[in-house]
Amino acid sequence: MTFEYAPAPESRSIVDIKAKYGHFIDGKFVTGKNHFATINPATEEVLSQIALGSVSDVDKAVAAAQKAYTKTWSKLSGKERGKYLYRIARILQERAREFAVLETLDNGKPIRETRDIDIPLVAAHFFYHAGWADKLDYAGLSKSPQPHGVAGQIIPWNFPLLMLAWKVAPALATGNTVVLKPSETTSLTALLFAQVCQEAELPDGVVNIVTGDGTTGSAIVNHPGIHKIAFTGSTEVGKKIARAIAGTEKKATLELGGKGANVVFDDAPIDEAVEGIVNGIFFNQGHVCCAGSRLILQEGIADEFIERLKVRMAKIRVGDPLDKNTDLGAINSREQLLKIQELAGVGDSEGAERWSPACNLSDKGFWFAPTIFTGVTQAHRIAREEIFGPVLSILTFRTPQEAIEKANNTPFGLSAGVWSEKGSRILWATQQLRAGVVWANTFNKFDPASPFGGYKESGWGREGGKHGLSAYLKEGK
Ligand code: NAD
């Protein structure tokens, strides 16, 4: 039976978007010089004008962060720092609906996800790290661990506020101060977060937010006053950053791209596995570094599995991200849409077979229907390159060893999934898979206590959990 859904749009009246924003430096909003537009990718409506941070803006932000580090933040006990983090977490919870609507407008992701996943996880990250702030000496990290000083943090557009939380919460808990740059297409929730810092009466200069593009990011990376870089974004930019800081004293964590494999054995519970594959690749329009973008299916169940997957995909509701019924929202930018279209076109020309359910896509905004490619081989670009969109490449295998070899045959190593009813097979496979996170009979589960990060070209270091704290600390004297 198919149910029809009446539209259930979330009201946007809760958000108050200014026509123009500056930067947040030393506890105050300061005006920027040049600006660029940020748009709603579902409608192409201009939401606001965002300041393009210059070298001089970055200088001011780093100076404010250095002053705050020396004069206030490094003088506070862990217990006192923790109180600020708890306060921020509670304000985020109180303003959760406002953040969810604003994130959906600026990013294009469905309100169901911002409301139920992004924003609750953001608050959870602050609560979790608040709890660590006064326990760092007992965490077994090192002898009397000390902060680095000023952390330069650069984040992408796919989980704008969540990536901010992954960066800011551990930095503050460990006693560092911060200069953060959000992505150029999704700066609005970071600027609203700046208001939360004011509301929480966080000492001036502890968190500084400079908006802008790659040139602003590069000014942060190359600034001599930055002691630690935390970057999440593409492998290409990650490599540039690694080159820029080589030979300096700067510490870095790099959370980069992925091409996660979901391996489904023939004894897997098929309906659950189909659900997990759909979640693995179509959650957040596939704009997920750890997306299960390769499905590696045991040959004997491949035909039946793909049929059931198609039936399930035909029920994915694509459309208005503010509608509470929507499963798949808008692609974040025209540039990203062109990249997805280009790589899907390469899939066609290399001989893979494309299938998408019928979808009513709006003429306005950036949209891409949920898509699978069958008949994919390891030589195809769509099996090797990160598409970062709602596109699944399906390969098959005959023996468990072949499945592992195919899953590991990638320059990345961020995530993987195993689907099987046999515990022994799951344990065997998870030990063979070369990925930072391996899920078994589930996918895309996140928790602030769990370290996250990759092998190979997926990056350096871990974020989250005790492992994530250590990146913000050095051994004390
Ligand atoms: P991107 O690398 O283009 O941009 C990321 C950030 O870096 C942006 O804020 C951008 O302005 C900035 N930047 C660009 N050039 C720079 C430079 N030369 N120096 C310093 N900063 C610079 O990535 P994106 O398109 O925003 O995000 C998508 C990518 O992020 C995907 O590859 C995805 O896999 C990855 N990602 C990884 C994780 C993870 O935890 N591993 C999480 C989310 C996204």
Is residue 183 in contact with ligand 1, taking CB distance under 6 Å?
Answer: yes
Q: Per the domain annotation, does 65 fall within a domain?
A: yes
Question: 335 CA distance to ligand 1 centroid (A)?
Answer: 14
Of all residues in the chain, what percent carry a pLDDT higher than 70? 99
- Mean local confidence (pLDDT), 164-187: 98
3-state secondary structure of 297: strand
Q: Per the domain annotation, does 428 fall within a domain?
A: yes
Q: Per the domain annotation, does 319 fall within a domain?
A: yes
Residue 274 has pLDDT above 70, yes or no: yes
Give me the DSSP letters along 110-155.
Answer: -HHHIIIIIHHHHHHHHHHHHHHTT-GGGTTSSSS-EE-SEEEEE-
Instruction: Say if residue 431 is in the same domain as residue 329.
Output: yes
Token pair 């862990």: residue: 78
Residue range 336-369, pLDDT digits in tens:
999 999 999 999 999 999 999 999 999 999 999 9
- Mean local confidence (pLDDT), 218-235: 98
Instruction: Say if residue 189 is in the same domain as residue 219.
Output: yes
The CA R_g of the chain, rounded to the nearest whole Å, is: 22
Instruction: Say if residue 247 is in the same domain as residue 285.
Output: no
User: Residue 242's pLDDT band (boundaries 50, 70, 90)?
Assistant: very high
The pLDDT value recorded for residue 476 is: 85
Question: 98 CA distance to ligand 1 centroid (A)?
Answer: 25
The pLDDT value recorded for residue 4 is: 79
- List the alpha helices (DSSP H) in 210-265: 214-222, 235-245
Whose C-alpha lies nearest to ligand 1, atom 10? 214
Tokens of residue 288, six digits: 């997920």
Q: Per the domain annotation, does 13 fall within a domain?
A: no
Q: Per the domain annotation, does 16 fall within a domain?
A: no
Q: Report yes or no: 83 and 70 within 8 Å, Cβ to Cβ.
A: no
The pLDDT value recorded for residue 340 is: 98
- Mean local confidence (pLDDT), 380-390: 98
Q: Per the domain annotation, does 448 fall within a domain?
A: no
Instruction: Say if residue 221 is in the same domain as residue 296.
Output: no
Is residue 181 in contact with ligand 1, taking CB distance under 6 Å?
Answer: yes
Is residue 129 in contact with ligand 1, taking CB distance under 6 Å?
Answer: no
Domain with residue 324: its CATH number is 3.40.309.10
The pTM of the whole model exceeds 0.95 = yes
The pLDDT value recorded for residue 1 is: 61
Domain with residue 201: its CATH number is 3.40.605.10
Residue 251: enclosing H or E segment and its boundaries?
strand 251-255
The pLDDT value recorded for residue 143 is: 83
Is residue 184 in contact with ligand 1, taking CB distance under 6 Å?
Answer: yes
Question: 344 CA distance to ligand 1 centroid (A)?
Answer: 21
Index of the ligand 1 atom closest to the CA of residue 336: 25
**How many residues appear in the chain?**
477
The pLDDT value recorded for residue 477 is: 73
Instruction: Say if residue 250 is in the same domain as residue 294.
Output: no
- Mean local confidence (pLDDT), 255-261: 97
Q: Report yes or no: 332 and 186 within 8 Å, Cβ to Cβ.
A: yes
Query: Which residue among 117, 185, 256 is best mutated to probe the pocket of ligand 1, counting the most ligand atoms within 8 A of its Cβ?
Result: 256
Number of domains present in the structure of the chain: 2
User: Residue 190's pLDDT band (boundaries 50, 70, 90)?
Assistant: very high
Is residue 240 in contact with ligand 1, taking CB distance under 6 Å?
Answer: yes
Whose C-alpha lies nearest to ligand 1, atom 43? 289
Residue 3 has pLDDT above 80, yes or no: no
313, amino acid identity: M
**Chain mean pLDDT for the chain:** 97
User: Residue 384's pLDDT band (boundaries 50, 70, 90)?
Assistant: very high
Largest CA distance in the chain: 68
Query: Which residue among 121, 234, 384 is best mutated to probe the pocket of ligand 1, counting the most ligand atoms within 8 A of its Cβ?
Result: 234
Is residue 284 in contact with ligand 1, taking CB distance under 6 Å?
Answer: no
Question: 234 CA distance to ligand 1 centroid (A)?
Answer: 4
Is residue 217 in contact with ligand 1, taking CB distance under 6 Å?
Answer: yes
Whose C-alpha lies nearest to ligand 1, atom 42? 289
Rounded-to-integer distance, Cα 50 and Cα 416, Å: 37
Give me the DSSP letters along 71-87.
Answer: HTGGGS-HHHHHHHHHH
Question: 288 CA distance to ligand 1 centroid (A)?
Answer: 12
Of all residues in the chain, what percent carry a pLDDT higher than 90? 97
Residue 345 belongs to what domain range? 261-440
Residue 401 has pLDDT above 80, yes or no: yes
Instruction: Say if residue 174 is in the same domain as residue 220.
Output: yes
Query: 230: Cβ–Cβ under 8 A, 6 or more apart, which residues?
Result: 151, 152, 153, 154, 167, 171, 252, 253, 463, 471
395 DSSP β-pair partners: 296
| Residue among 6, 10, 1, 2 at smallest CA distance from 321 | 10
Is residue 218 in contact with ligand 1, taking CB distance under 6 Å?
Answer: yes
Instruction: Say if residue 416 is in the same domain as residue 463.
Output: no
Q: Per the domain annotation, does 369 fall within a domain?
A: yes
Residue 416 has pLDDT above 90, yes or no: yes
Rounded-to-integer distance, Cα 252 and Cα 151, Å: 9
- Mean local confidence (pLDDT), 163-179: 98
Tokens of residue 44, six digits: 């192409």
Residues annotated as catalytic are 255, 289
> Phi first, then psi: what are they for 302, rounded to 5°?
-60, -50
Question: 257 CA distance to ligand 1 centroid (A)?
Answer: 9
User: Residue 141's pLDDT band (boundaries 50, 70, 90)?
Assistant: confident
Query: Which residue among 107, 162, 183 is best mutated to probe the pocket of ligand 1, counting the most ligand atoms within 8 A of its Cβ?
Result: 183
- Mean local confidence (pLDDT), 122-128: 98
Q: Is the dihedral of CA 445, 195, 185, 42 positive or negative?
A: positive
Residue range 9-32, pLDDT digits in tens:
999 999 999 999 999 999 999 999
Residue range 50-71, pLDDT digits in tens:
999 999 999 999 999 999 999 9
The pLDDT value recorded for residue 354 is: 98
- Using CA atoms, how far residue 404 sits from 408, 440, 456, in Å, is 6, 14, 16
Instruction: Say if residue 227 is in the same domain as residue 306.
Output: no
The pLDDT value recorded for residue 2 is: 61
Q: Per the domain annotation, does 282 fall within a domain?
A: yes
Is residue 257 in contact with ligand 1, taking CB distance under 6 Å?
Answer: yes
Q: Report yes or no: 417 and 275 within 8 Å, Cβ to Cβ.
A: no
Question: 236 CA distance to ligand 1 centroid (A)?
Answer: 8
Instruction: Say if residue 152 is in the same domain as residue 83.
Output: yes
Instruction: Say if residue 192 is in the same domain as residue 298.
Output: no
Instruction: Say if residue 77 is in the same domain as residue 173.
Output: yes
